[in-house]
Amino acid sequence: MPKISVVMAVYNGAARLPATLESIAAQTERDFELIVIDDGSTDETPSILAAFDDPRLRVIPQPNAGLTRALIRGCAEATGDVIARHDCGDRSHPERFAKQLAAIGDHVLVASATRFRGPGGEELYIAEADGDAIHLSVLHAGRATIRGIPHHASAMFRKADYDAAGGYRAQFRFAQDLDFWIRLARRGTFAILDDVLYEATIEPRSISSLHRAEQERLTEIAIELRDGGDEATLLAEAARVQPSRNAKPRDEAAGLYFIARCLLRRGNRAWRSYALRAIARNPLHWRAWASLLLGR
């Protein structure tokens, strides 16, 4: 039985999958299994996984069912004492598993500061948090102020606590992490390491407002469940919250503009190219026009 079960879902992630696999294989803590749920990929993902020569890798293919159901499947298959999340396209510092495993102690969740990078590898910002503050937030804050950990996929938690808390719930296509953190927080405290042990890549569409309404409603439902709302009624409503539309050019433009603003704050001249791309996708994006005209 391995110490750690790394659970990762992937859907058409061929472009960034090799770097992600290499960062996991390079961990100084070697005692882990890597469970990858291939969620119906139609690109080169299956062949990349098949060619990856590491006996710790277990690939479980399934028809496309979305991130939440893929995570549920992966966590159910986990045989390690501890589950470490990971996302395709991201990278872990070589000492991530070792440091988080050493820090878990009596905590029910350990995460770390996360560095966010743009599509070209540009550093955008670092997200940090205090474990006690996040713990209090998920247990008591309202929708406008509730805070999660720096990045969902930087989390590590015990399999026994995952099972006891009820794990991810299939009804939550979005906000599945927050719904789980709320129930997990009732079992103990959180620790968030100051070390930047995880790097996440932001793609323009991943930060758009494409599913903002759905995310906000599911966050509200998670809080209502936390605060004693009728479980059967609220879970039935959560199951009805589905993606409402496909990505449109203005959604990608919003993501491109966000990246531009992050780079501008860092003094990285690449911000202009992202602002121009935002305008190309949405010529009416006045904030991008203003940034280019004013240089700020």
Give 281's pLDDT tier (boundaries 50, 70, 90).
Answer: very high
> Would you say residue 212 has pLDDT above 90?
no
Mean pLDDT of the chain: 95
pLDDT at 128: 97
3-state SS of the chain is: CCCEEEEEEECCCCCCHHHHHHHHHCCCCCCEEEEEEEECCCCCHHHHHHHCCCCCEEEEEECCCCHHHHHHHHHHHCCCCEEEECCCCCEECCCHHHHHHHHCCCCCEEEEEEEEECCCCCEEEEECCCHHHHHHHHHHCCCCCCCCCCCHHHCEEEHHHHHHHCCCCCCCCCCHHHHHHHHHHCCCCEEEEEEEEEEEECCHHHHCCCCHHHHHHHHHHHHHHHCCCCHHHHHHHHHHCCCCCCCCHHHHHHHHHHHHHHHHHCCCCCHHHHHHHHHHHCCCCHHHHHHHHHCC
**pLDDT exceeds cutoff 70 at 207:** no
* Separation of alpha carbons 90 and 117, rounded Å: 9
**Would you call 17 exposed, middle or buried from its count of C-beta atoms within 10 A (0-12, 13-18, 19+)?**
buried
For 273, residues 6+ apart whose C-beta sits below 8 A from its C-beta are none
C-alpha span between 190 and 137 (Å, rounded): 11
What pLDDT score does 243 carry?
A: 81
Q: What is the pLDDT of residue 102?
A: 98
Question: For 231-276, what is each residue's pLDDT tens digit?
Answer: 999 999 999 998 876 667 788 898 999 999 999 999 999 999 999 9
* pLDDT band with cut points at 50, 70 and 90 for residue 90: very high
User: What is the tens place of the pLDDT at every residue in 52-78?
Assistant: 999 999 999 999 999 999 999 999 999
Residue 208 has pLDDT above 60, yes or no: no
Does the pLDDT of residue 160 top 70, yes or no? yes
pLDDT at 209 over 80: no
C-alpha span between 51 and 164 (Å, rounded): 36
Residue 213 pLDDT > 90, yes or no?
A: no
Average pLDDT estimate for 154-171? 98
For residue 204, what pLDDT is reported?
Answer: 87
Q: Give mean pLDDT, residues 160-185.
A: 97
Distance of alpha carbon 211 from alpha carbon 63, whole angstroms: 22
Instruction: Provide the CATH topology of domain 4-203.
Output: Spore Coat Polysaccharide Biosynthesis Protein SpsA; Chain A (3.90.550)
Return the number of other C-beta atoms located less than 10 Å from residue 167's C-beta.
19
Amino acid letter, residue 232: A
For the segment 172-191, the average pLDDT, to the nearest whole number, is 97
For residue 146, give the nearest of 120, 123, 119, 177 by alpha carbon: 177
Joined together, the tokens standing for residue 81 give: 């004492």
Question: Looking at residue 131, what is its pLDDT?
Answer: 97
The percentage of residues in the chain with a pLDDT greater than 90, rounded to a whole number, is 89
Write out the residue limits of the CATH 3.90.550.10 domain(s) in the chain.
4-203
Q: Cα torsion for 209, 213, 216, 220, to the nearest 10°?
A: 180
CA distances from 20 to 10, 15, 86, 114 (A): 11, 10, 9, 15
